[in-house]
Structure 1
Amino acid sequence: MDCLFCKIVSGEVPSYKIYEDDAVYAFLDIYPTSEGHTIVLPKKHSMRFTEMSEAEVSSLFASVSKVARAVEEALDVPGSNIGLNNGEVAGQSVPHVHVHIIPRRVNDKGGSMHTIVNQHPDTGNLGELADIIKKAF
């Protein structure tokens, strides 16, 4: 498999590892959007978040929480953006599930998650849309 993140987990490609357990690996992004920008990923290769089992998702996000707390405390920042791009169309640049932890500072001129896509769709169909999505469960 020619997956960059799998190569990082195996040690084939070097990284600035900050956390590792049986299921996840976390390292500093080498193209950070803010100081301390961290990537957390499952060691098991999954291309999309929606392909992971509930147990895998639970394990990943338990570690994301632990890593985010450590990053915020170590860097003395008041918050962070935590995000996941699911699929190439959503901006996922490496086809291996990964979560970004982006430390935020007061007056850093960054935006919110709402600025990723802001199409202002019509809201007159929210009831119908909710019914369509509920049927997918």
Structure 2
Amino acid sequence: MATLFTKIIDGEIPGRFVWADDVAVAFTTIAPITDGHALVVPRAEVDQLTDASDELLAHLTSVAKTIGQAQKAAWDAPRAALLVAGFEIPHLHLHVLPAWDEASLTFANARSDAPADELDAAAERLRAALRDAGHAAQVPARVDSPAL
């Protein structure tokens, strides 16, 4: 059975895409810890970190680094944080978010009530920062589609 993330990648469930390539996509989460919180997800259904090939992990980490650099620029954050948990969905994903302190990096701070217009604005802000950083080729033409 397809995972929730596969359904988002396939367009069956809406997503706010900020990155797409042949191996991975990134979209902002509906429960952000901070504005701009994005998920880097392989297109292939890999259950968890320890199931992924070294090549896949290298690619996902590279994408996460690029997104983190854009988040730092877009939100003037001193750091970009990377979290890997994956208990809620059996599809490997990296949480990348702008960060100001270590204490705030907890899923207890996730806002499940963030208004759609705020989520849309954060996704577009991140998309713009990625384009400004020279990654326009990987920013999908439409925020609601992982197609380039």
Please give the TM-score of this superposition, normalised by the length of structure 1: 0.70
Does 1:35 find its partner at 2:30? Answer: no
Contact 2:7–2:13 at 8 Å: present in 1 too?
yes
Choose which of 97, 101, 116 in structure 2 pairs with 1:102. 97
User: What amino acid is the match of 2:30?
Assistant: I
Can you give the 5+ residue segments of structure 1 that lack an aligned partner in the other structure? 87-91, 113-137
Give the aligned CA root-mean-square deviation in angstroms.
1.9
From the CA coordinates, give the structure whose radius of gyration is larger. Answer: 1
TM-score (norm 2): 0.66
Pairwise CA distance, 1:73: 1.1
Q: Are the equivalent residues in 1 in contact too, given 2:69–2:80 (CA < 8 A)?
A: no
| Inter-partner Cα distance in structure 2 for 1:74 and 1:21 | 22
Match of residue 48 from structure 2: 48
Establish whether residue 65 from structure 1 lines up as the match of residue 65 from structure 2.
yes
Q: Deviations over 1:89-113 (max 9, x none)?
A: xxx211100000121136x95258x
Cα deviation, residue 80, structure 1: 2.4
State the percentage of identical aligned residues.
28
Q: How many pairs are equivalent?
A: 106
Q: What is the CA distance between 1:17 and its match in structure 2?
A: 0.6
Q: How far did 1:19 drift?
A: 0.8
SS in 2 for 1:8: helix
Deviations 1:18-54 (A, max 9, x none): 1111111101110111111111111111001111111
Structure 1's consecutive aligned runs of 4 or more residues displaced over 4 angstroms after TM superposition are none
- CA shift for structure 1 position 72: 1.4
Number of the residue aligned with 2:19 = 19
Q: Which structure is higher in RCO with an 8 Å CA cutoff and minimum separation 6?
A: 2
